[in-house]
Chain A
Amino acid sequence: MVFKPVSSPHRHAALSTARVMQWVIAALLPGIAVLTWQFGWGTLINCAIATATALLCEAAMVALRGRSIRFYLNDYSAAVTALLLAVALPPLAPWWLVVIATASAIVIAKQSYGGLGYNPFNPAMVGYVVVLISFPLEMSSWLSPQSLLAAGTSHASLGESLAVVAGASADGWTGATPLDLFKHGVNGQLVDTFYAEQPLFSGAALAGVGWEWVNLAFLAGGLVLLGRGIFTWHAPLAMLASLALMAALFWDGGSSTSGGSLPLHLFSGATMLGALFIITDPVSSAVSTRGRLVYGALIGVLIYLIRVWGNYPDGVAFAILLGNFAAPFIDNYTVPRSYGHQRARRATEHPQ
């Protein structure tokens, strides 16, 4: 018989932080599979390099902070950051690019702020933006999707892929992303004419050959998480809705100055990855349901603004970081109305 003074409650639900992270990793698998199918070994190599770097950096930082390495590595959060980066970076990117991105994410964005739960910015997006700004050339060389490769060629084999990652040229396999192509290739044509000319668009149902599949795979994975109750629908739906609204508002039927169609914005680039895997990161997002609606909507608008009027073809990473900046401010104004109160209070309100 043991009589320990333990505080109630005496029972606990089964879900643990490690289990949450494991579910996120599982939900990323369809996206990783489609990326590999469309773009070859590169994504898997990215995953391997990023995961190894992330775990090493996490262990080193936790050791430097004098904490238990085992306890902190067991929460799987470093692996999640690594995989999110791996699917966001171009396949066959040079190995050092992946290492720099991952190390920046773990060392700077996560551990130097105090580790899991204390990072104001999404680590994966910080890592991504570090390399996006520092190495624009490497970051803009994506691969052509499977079906657009020249006749008779196929993806780089595992050996070739490893050689490219180690520094060889990837020339035979490179190709623009739909957002890149759309931003820099329209050149005064009507969208319809442009789409017809470009095999990347003409062969696609929604928004670019291969890319639409990648986005649908991330959407599917995200819906599984939503079904499991890992996150709520508020932020993703608000982000997708506000992005769709912006696209619909500024879609002028396809003139040469059009901002891009609604499917193009929803199903290309990192839209679905961002909506279902990045902005749902609870640590760096707003906390209340109302706050998450505002947070998601803000990011959706920012994505559109950066894509259409900014310098970068895709704006998800920047938009999310700006959203992270705004999250504490949003929290201040979106404290829910508690039971028995006439109105919601503000977080900075002083007690009477």
Chain B
Amino acid sequence: MRKVWETPGGIHPAENKHQSVGRPIGQLALPEQLVIALNQHAGPAAEPQVAVGQTVLKGERIARSGAAALHAPSSGTVVAIEQRPVAHPSGLPAECIVIACDGRDQWAERQPLADYRSVDRQRLLDTVAERGVAGMGGAGFPTAIKLATDRPITMLIVNATECEPYITADDALLRERADELLTGVDIASYLLGDPAERVVGIEDNKPEAIAALRAAIAARGADHAPVELAIFPTKYPSGGERQLIQIITGQELASGALPAELGIVCQNVGTLYALKRAIVDGEPLISRVTTVTGRACAVNGNYDTLIGTPISALLAHNRLAPERLARLIMGGPMMGIALPSSELPIIKTSNCLIAADDTEVAAEQPAQPCIRCGLCAEACPASLLPQQLFWHAQSQQHDKLEAHNLFDCIECGACSYVCPSNIPLVQYFRAGKGEIRQQRADKAKSDFARERFELRQQRLEQQERDKQAKREARKLAAEQAKAAQAASQASGDEAPANSAAAMIAAAQARAAARLASPEQQREKLERAIASSRARLERADANLAAASAEGADAEALKPLLAGQAAAAQKLAQAEQKLAALAEADSAASPATESTASADAELDAAGRAIAKARQAAAEREALSPAALLDRDIAALDKRLTKLRDKLVAADDDQRELLAASLAKLEAKQQALHSQREAVADGV
């Protein structure tokens, strides 16, 4: 047996586990309705993929999520997709899919992957996500993400601690299905790149489970990777990930770090069992083992429970005496949440239901003053000083809270449990963390706003300066042109009728003025390069995304064209910059500047010609045609703006909406004008 280490702190609350492990894991009658919450795992909620009225088969995917999909736990008809109350600490309702079971419990086609080692690792991970496997011990973290770590993993820890009182779901699972768990360990092992060690961490209060595990390990063939047992004394909260890592390896996980940084991944027993079912049997995660216990229920036990089963159905099956029920708890008595109703559905993380009577829950007593006895500090598994944290939390001294490492609190509740003054310490710490998080978010937001404001200010000033410079240059050019004209008139030459020469002279002067500062020019070019590079990158990304999604050649064309254009622009800008650099290093900057001034002159001439042509065209058009053109241009702008609005975030949206409104008003005006013109005609 492995050497184990001791962790600081911890408590020994009454275990109350024997009530629910006496019988084998039971089966339940199919409920009439199943309610599947869409927010069952960490991260954004899943998106429903079924419509009301649609019939579904057992195991059919009903909601999609990148990390863990949801499936119909039984066959039947989708009768509603709506907000329903769910078991969540926030107490807020969540979007749920409601399925009326048809009683046939008919499976969709299953695709077992017994030879999972022949499947590519990435594809197998996708399958794990696809089949909805998520952490079943606590937070419901998607298993595919946890197993997809790109760090080298040297140890897979199986968390069979189940250190909270009352809960026996993992215990029961180990007693009856240890061999299936081991298969789950093998799959996880493969996905993690076959780490050197696989260790099951289990408390010594589960001798039957330990025996079953030993037997299952002994029965494995020699071709299987070895699995070790780490058995340690029962103490709450040994099952905390950080505590378990310290118990098994003697190492502490740095504050804020993930286990993968130590080359460790922890998985819960229930999760690995679900992994085995999902891969080897092709059954997505649609049921779990749930403990139903507490003195208000006449019968206590563990059950294979479909996700979405109403809690009231479980309680009725266990003959709940409603008059004895003092508190209904989902999870354990230390960290579980008190449910606001029994009409809530079972979710993937529902490991235990405690229908507690008066004798099983702490009487609600007013908190007495803290006498700083220090029992909480002795109980704290993270070696914090809860009495000091409490002091600072009360007075909202957030910097002191952080100096006392508030964020290393794992909210296990050991401090509240031992507090002789009945102070709800954990509640204070949760609130304190929430306040600090909120403050940080607010600060980040205001910092961002300030930065944006300052940049805008800078930009405006720069624009003003540029304008000023241009104005001066123009003035100078005008003066020069005037002088030239005066000179030519004075010399008796016939002045050309139009002022093209003057314009050209002005353009020349402008170009010269612009050239006066090559620094500015270079800056401008560099900006152009940066932006075209970004555009190119975006185009590349778009292209990659599109081809990943399997778009056809036709759809790819515009993207390719965009990419090519961006690349060309980049090349042009880079060329110009190179030319500029060459010019700088050239011995005679004067000639160079003349040359580029000539080029500038050409460009100015072209621009003038273009503007003339445009003016002529405009003249030639009828007012109606003119208006049509304006309307067409405006429509184009509007479409563009609407597209942008869809993609915009909240801050931008307001601005965009405002300008959209303005444009629409303008469009309205143009239309009425157009109508007026048409009537006139």
Contact = CB atoms under 8 A, between A and B. Distances in A.
Interface of A: 1-13, 15-17, 19-20, 71, 75, 77, 115-118, 229-232, 282-283, 285, 287-289, 331, 335-342, 345-351
Contacts of A350: 399, 403
B410 to A, nearest CB: 9
Contacts of B378: 232
Nearest to B323: A1
A13 B13 contact: yes
A324 to B, nearest CB: 12
A161 B543 CA distance: 102
A2 B329 CA distance: 12
A232 B374 contact: yes
A340 B255 contact: yes
Q: What 5 A-B pairs come out closest when comparing CB atoms?
A: A117-B369, A12-B362, A9-B413, A351-B402, A340-B255
Contact of A10 (B254, B257, B333, B342): B333
Contact of A12 (B242, B369, B417): B417
Contact of A287 (B242, B340, B387): B387
Given A17-B420, A335-B385, A347-B388, A9 B335 contact: yes
A306 to B, nearest CB: 26
B434 interface: no
B229 interface: no
Contact of B334 (A11, A337, A349): A11
A335 B408 CA distance: 14
B48 to A, nearest CB: 29
Contacts of B360: 10-11
Range of interface residues on B (Cβ < 8 Å)? 35 or more
B667 interface: no
B253 A13 contact: no
A207 to B, nearest CB: 31
A186 to B, nearest CB: 42
Contacts of B417: 9, 11-13
Contact of B375 (A15, A116, A289): A15
Given A2-B326, A338-B408, A349 B403 contact: yes
Interface string B355-376: 0100011101010111111110
Interface in B392-440: 399-400, 402-405, 408, 413, 416-422, 424, 426-427, 430
Contacts, number: 186
Nearest to A332: B403
B364 A9 contact: no
Nearest to B388: A287
Nearest to A71: B366
Contacts of B418: 13, 15
A17 B371 contact: yes
B562 interface: no
A229 to B, nearest CB: 8
Which of A20, A283, A287 neighbours the largest number of chain B CB atoms within 10 Å of its CB?
A287
Nearest to A11: B333
A351 B403 contact: yes
B13 A3 contact: no
B252 A12 contact: no
A19 B165 contact: no
B322 interface: yes
B411 to A, nearest CB: 8
Nearest to B341: A3
Given A342-B254, A347-B400, 15 more contacts: A3-B327, A3-B328, A8-B331, A8-B335, A10-B329, A11-B165, A12-B416, A13-B13, A17-B421, A337-B383, A338-B383, A338-B408, A339-B242, A339-B383, A351-B399
Contact of A116 (B242, B371, B416): B371
B8 A5 contact: no
Most chain A CB within 10 A, of B337, B341, B420, B430, is at B420
A6 B333 contact: no
16 contacts: A8-B337, A10-B338, A11-B362, A15-B375, A17-B421, A19-B420, A71-B368, A75-B368, A117-B372, A282-B374, A287-B385, A336-B383, A339-B8, A339-B383, A340-B254, A347-B403
- Tell which of B165, B341, B372, B402 has the most Cβ of chain A within 10 Å: B372
Contact of B371 (A7, A11, A71, A282): A282
Nearest to A12: B362
A350 B331 CA distance: 37
B64 to A, nearest CB: 33
Contact of A115 (B329, B369, B387): B369
A320 to B, nearest CB: 16
B256 interface: yes
A266 B20 CA distance: 55
Nearest to B379: A13
A180 B335 CA distance: 58
A348 B377 contact: no
A13 B422 CA distance: 9
B403 A340 contact: no
B385 A288 contact: yes
Nearest to A327: B372
Nearest to A340: B255
Given A336-B383, A339-B383, A8 B336 contact: yes
A13 B13 CA distance: 7
Residue among A13, A118, A342 with the most chain B CB within 10 A? A13
Contacts of B14: 11
Given A16-B422, A282-B374, A288-B385, A340 B257 contact: yes
A340 B242 contact: yes
Contacts of B413: 8-9
Contacts of B560: none
Interface in B235-254: 242, 246, 252-254
A72 to B, nearest CB: 9
Contacts of A338: 255, 382-384, 405, 408
A282 B381 CA distance: 21
B325 interface: yes
A219 to B, nearest CB: 21
B339 interface: yes
B403 A287 contact: no
Contacts of B420: 13, 15-17, 19-20
B385 A336 contact: yes
Nearest to B400: A347
B91 interface: yes
B181 interface: no
A10 B327 contact: yes
B577 interface: no
Nearest to B335: A8
B597 interface: no
Contacts of A335: 385, 388, 403-404
Residue from the set A3, A20, A348 with the largest chain B CB neighbour count within 10 Å: A3
B580 interface: no
Interface string B491-517: 000000000000000000000000000
Contacts of A7: 338, 424, 426-427, 430
Contacts of A289: 377
Contacts of A283: 371-372
B404 to A, nearest CB: 6
A280 B402 CA distance: 28
B178 interface: no
Interface string B33-69: 0000000000000000000000000000000000000
Q: Which of A11, A116, A335 has most B Cβ within 10 Å?
A: A11
Contacts of A231: 373
Interface in B119-177: 165
Contacts of B335: 8-9
A5 B338 contact: yes
Contacts of A2: 325-327
B404 A339 contact: no
Q: Which interface residue of A229, A336, A350 has the most chain B CB atoms within 10 A?
A: A336
Given A20-B420, A338-B383, A338-B408, A118 B369 contact: yes
Nearest to A334: B385
